[in-house]
Amino acid sequence: MRFVLASKSPRRKEILSLVGMKFECMESTEEERADRSLLPGEYVMKLASDKAENVEGNCGFDGDRLIIGADTVVVCDGRILGKPADGREAFTMLSSLSGRSHSVYTGVAVRGYKDGVRISRTFFEETRVEFYPMSDEDINRYIATGDPLDKAGAYGIQGVCCAHIKGIEGDYLNVVGLPVSRLCMELNKLNIDWRN
Protein backbone atom coordinates (compact mmCIF):
# COMPACT_ATOMS: atom_id res chain seq x y z
CA MET A 1 0.00 0.00 0.00
CA ARG A 2 1.35 3.43 -0.95
CA PHE A 3 0.31 6.26 1.35
CA VAL A 4 0.28 9.85 0.13
CA LEU A 5 -0.25 12.80 2.45
CA ALA A 6 -2.04 15.52 0.52
CA SER A 7 -0.11 18.25 2.32
CA LYS A 8 3.32 19.84 2.69
CA SER A 9 2.59 20.74 6.33
CA PRO A 10 5.66 19.92 8.43
CA ARG A 11 3.37 19.36 11.42
CA ARG A 12 1.21 16.77 9.64
CA LYS A 13 4.31 15.04 8.26
CA GLU A 14 5.78 14.82 11.76
CA ILE A 15 2.55 13.44 13.24
CA LEU A 16 2.24 10.70 10.61
CA SER A 17 5.89 9.79 11.13
CA LEU A 18 5.26 9.38 14.88
CA VAL A 19 3.14 6.27 14.27
CA GLY A 20 5.69 4.76 11.89
CA MET A 21 3.74 5.23 8.67
CA LYS A 22 5.87 5.54 5.55
CA PHE A 23 4.36 8.00 3.11
CA GLU A 24 4.99 10.43 0.29
CA CYS A 25 3.81 14.04 0.21
CA MET A 26 2.02 15.77 -2.61
CA GLU A 27 0.45 19.16 -2.09
CA SER A 28 -3.02 19.81 -3.44
CA THR A 29 -3.21 22.33 -6.27
CA GLU A 30 -6.88 22.93 -5.50
CA GLU A 31 -7.77 26.36 -4.14
CA GLU A 32 -9.41 25.94 -0.73
CA ARG A 33 -13.09 26.70 -1.14
CA ALA A 34 -16.03 25.66 0.96
CA ASP A 35 -19.26 27.29 2.04
CA ARG A 36 -18.66 28.91 5.44
CA SER A 37 -22.34 28.49 6.25
CA LEU A 38 -21.68 24.75 6.65
CA LEU A 39 -21.36 23.37 10.16
CA PRO A 40 -17.66 23.36 11.19
CA GLY A 41 -17.31 19.57 10.94
CA GLU A 42 -18.89 19.53 7.47
CA TYR A 43 -16.70 22.48 6.44
CA VAL A 44 -13.38 20.81 7.32
CA MET A 45 -14.49 17.49 5.83
CA LYS A 46 -15.30 19.26 2.54
CA LEU A 47 -11.87 20.93 2.44
CA ALA A 48 -10.10 17.66 3.33
CA SER A 49 -12.07 15.80 0.66
CA ASP A 50 -11.21 18.40 -1.99
CA LYS A 51 -7.49 18.09 -1.14
CA ALA A 52 -7.51 14.27 -1.20
CA GLU A 53 -9.46 14.08 -4.47
CA ASN A 54 -7.24 16.67 -6.15
CA VAL A 55 -4.05 14.82 -5.19
CA GLU A 56 -5.59 11.48 -6.13
CA GLY A 57 -6.30 12.87 -9.60
CA ASN A 58 -2.74 14.17 -9.93
CA CYS A 59 -0.73 11.36 -8.31
CA GLY A 60 -0.14 9.45 -11.54
CA PHE A 61 0.08 5.90 -10.23
CA ASP A 62 -2.26 2.93 -10.01
CA GLY A 63 -2.51 -0.04 -7.70
CA ASP A 64 -3.00 -0.03 -3.93
CA ARG A 65 -2.78 3.57 -2.82
CA LEU A 66 -4.31 5.76 -0.17
CA ILE A 67 -4.45 9.54 -0.24
CA ILE A 68 -4.87 11.31 3.11
CA GLY A 69 -6.20 14.88 3.07
CA ALA A 70 -6.71 17.04 6.16
CA ASP A 71 -7.79 20.55 7.04
CA THR A 72 -7.96 22.33 10.41
CA VAL A 73 -9.91 25.37 11.59
CA VAL A 74 -10.56 27.11 14.87
CA VAL A 75 -14.16 27.96 15.79
CA CYS A 76 -15.03 30.67 18.30
CA ASP A 77 -18.55 31.99 18.88
CA GLY A 78 -19.71 30.01 15.85
CA ARG A 79 -17.20 31.80 13.61
CA ILE A 80 -14.69 29.79 11.57
CA LEU A 81 -11.17 31.14 11.90
CA GLY A 82 -8.70 30.06 9.24
CA LYS A 83 -5.18 31.38 8.79
CA PRO A 84 -4.83 35.13 9.37
CA ALA A 85 -4.02 37.29 6.35
CA ASP A 86 -1.66 39.51 8.35
CA GLY A 87 -0.58 40.59 11.83
CA ARG A 88 -3.65 42.76 12.34
CA GLU A 89 -6.01 39.88 11.65
CA ALA A 90 -3.88 37.63 13.87
CA PHE A 91 -4.25 40.18 16.70
CA THR A 92 -8.04 40.21 16.26
CA MET A 93 -8.22 36.42 16.33
CA LEU A 94 -5.97 36.00 19.36
CA SER A 95 -7.84 38.74 21.24
CA SER A 96 -11.10 36.87 20.63
CA LEU A 97 -9.57 33.64 22.03
CA SER A 98 -7.92 35.23 25.07
CA GLY A 99 -9.29 33.99 28.41
CA ARG A 100 -11.87 31.76 26.72
CA SER A 101 -12.56 28.32 25.34
CA HIS A 102 -12.96 27.50 21.67
CA SER A 103 -13.06 24.44 19.41
CA VAL A 104 -10.52 23.12 16.95
CA TYR A 105 -11.88 20.97 14.13
CA THR A 106 -9.81 18.83 11.79
CA GLY A 107 -11.43 17.07 8.87
CA VAL A 108 -9.71 14.02 7.39
CA ALA A 109 -10.47 12.37 4.05
CA VAL A 110 -9.06 9.02 2.93
CA ARG A 111 -9.36 8.15 -0.77
CA GLY A 112 -7.87 5.36 -2.84
CA TYR A 113 -7.92 1.69 -3.78
CA LYS A 114 -7.06 -1.59 -2.08
CA ASP A 115 -7.10 -4.79 -4.14
CA GLY A 116 -9.07 -2.95 -6.83
CA VAL A 117 -11.78 -1.87 -4.39
CA ARG A 118 -12.57 1.83 -4.00
CA ILE A 119 -11.93 3.27 -0.53
CA SER A 120 -13.54 6.48 0.65
CA ARG A 121 -13.80 7.56 4.28
CA THR A 122 -14.26 11.06 5.73
CA PHE A 123 -14.49 12.14 9.36
CA PHE A 124 -13.70 15.02 11.69
CA GLU A 125 -12.47 15.46 15.24
CA GLU A 126 -13.24 18.31 17.63
CA THR A 127 -11.00 19.37 20.53
CA ARG A 128 -11.81 22.07 23.05
CA VAL A 129 -8.98 24.48 23.96
CA GLU A 130 -8.97 27.09 26.73
CA PHE A 131 -6.62 30.07 26.77
CA TYR A 132 -5.43 32.01 29.78
CA PRO A 133 -6.06 35.75 29.43
CA MET A 134 -3.46 37.39 27.17
CA SER A 135 -2.51 41.06 27.36
CA ASP A 136 -2.07 43.13 24.20
CA GLU A 137 1.66 42.96 24.88
CA ASP A 138 1.52 39.14 25.09
CA ILE A 139 -0.33 38.97 21.79
CA ASN A 140 1.98 41.42 20.01
CA ARG A 141 5.06 39.61 21.29
CA TYR A 142 3.69 36.33 19.97
CA ILE A 143 2.78 37.83 16.59
CA ALA A 144 6.32 39.21 16.31
CA THR A 145 7.64 35.62 16.27
CA GLY A 146 5.83 35.09 12.94
CA ASP A 147 4.39 31.80 14.22
CA PRO A 148 0.68 32.79 14.03
CA LEU A 149 0.66 33.72 10.36
CA ASP A 150 0.46 30.21 8.88
CA LYS A 151 -1.84 28.65 11.46
CA ALA A 152 -5.61 28.36 11.81
CA GLY A 153 -6.86 30.67 14.53
CA ALA A 154 -3.46 32.42 14.54
CA TYR A 155 -1.76 30.06 16.97
CA GLY A 156 0.17 26.83 17.21
CA ILE A 157 -0.37 24.88 20.42
CA GLN A 158 2.99 23.10 20.01
CA GLY A 159 5.07 26.29 19.89
CA VAL A 160 5.60 29.47 21.88
CA CYS A 161 1.86 29.88 22.34
CA CYS A 162 1.73 26.85 24.67
CA ALA A 163 2.58 29.34 27.46
CA HIS A 164 -0.99 30.69 27.12
CA ILE A 165 -2.92 27.40 27.00
CA LYS A 166 -4.88 26.68 30.17
CA GLY A 167 -6.11 23.27 29.10
CA ILE A 168 -7.52 21.07 26.39
CA GLU A 169 -10.32 18.52 26.23
CA GLY A 170 -9.79 15.93 23.51
CA ASP A 171 -7.02 14.99 21.11
CA TYR A 172 -3.92 17.22 21.40
CA LEU A 173 -2.60 16.16 17.97
CA ASN A 174 -5.92 17.18 16.46
CA VAL A 175 -5.08 20.75 17.49
CA VAL A 176 -1.60 20.41 15.98
CA GLY A 177 -3.23 19.40 12.69
CA LEU A 178 -3.98 15.68 12.41
CA PRO A 179 -5.98 13.36 14.71
CA VAL A 180 -3.66 10.46 13.95
CA SER A 181 -5.09 8.01 16.50
CA ARG A 182 -8.56 8.38 14.95
CA LEU A 183 -7.01 8.02 11.48
CA CYS A 184 -5.29 4.78 12.52
CA MET A 185 -8.55 3.42 13.99
CA GLU A 186 -10.41 4.25 10.74
CA LEU A 187 -7.70 2.48 8.71
CA ASN A 188 -7.98 -0.53 11.03
CA LYS A 189 -11.74 -0.67 10.31
CA LEU A 190 -10.88 -0.75 6.59
CA ASN A 191 -8.37 -3.59 7.19
CA ILE A 192 -5.54 -1.40 5.98
CA ASP A 193 -2.16 -2.00 7.60
CA TRP A 194 -0.65 1.43 8.21
CA ARG A 195 2.38 0.02 10.07
CA ASN A 196 4.57 -0.39 7.00
Active site residues: 71
- Determine phi and psi for 185, rounding to 5 degrees: -65, -40
Buried b (16+ CB within 10 A) or exposed e, 102-139: bbbbbbbbbbbeeeeeebebbbbbbbebebeebeeebb
Return all residues near 32 (Cβ < 8 A) that are at least 6 apart.
47, 50, 51, 71
At 132, the amino acid letter reads Y
- Determine phi and psi for 164, rounding to 5 degrees: -110, 5
